Amino acid sequence: MTREELQTASEELRQASERVDGEMRERLYDQSNQLAELATAERGPDHGRLDRHMNVLHELAGELDGEAKAHVESAREHVTEYRKTVEGV
């Protein structure tokens, strides 16, 4: 089962990674891959795992500007929307 919000977040991060170089590109690409895996995993992530991703995305956005930052912020919004559908806290 694909989790659309997480897949979209992954795609946003991939787009952001295309706008930067070096270590930042690797960090964005890694987050993109992790979210893509969560989007297609048998079981969805819990609140704790999503919170960790949201924190990383917040930190990454703080280190970026322009289009790359906008894509990371959009990815974080999609993770937030998905998180609203996860039971428990």
Question: Three-state SS string across 30-77, please?
Answer: HHHHHHHHHHHCCCCCCHHHHHHHHHHHHHHHHCCCHHHHHHHHHHHH
Of 10, 3, 16, nearest to 72 (Cα)? 16
- Could you read off the pLDDT of 17-67 as tens digits, one per residue? 999 999 999 999 999 999 999 999 999 899 999 999 999 999 999 999 999
Put residue 16 in one of left, alpha, beta given phi > 0 → left and psi -120 to 50 → alpha.
Answer: alpha
Predicted TM-score of the model (pTM)? 0.94
Q: What angle do CA 60, 72, 79 make, to 5 degrees?
A: 105
Q: Return the domain boundaries, the chain.
A: 4-83
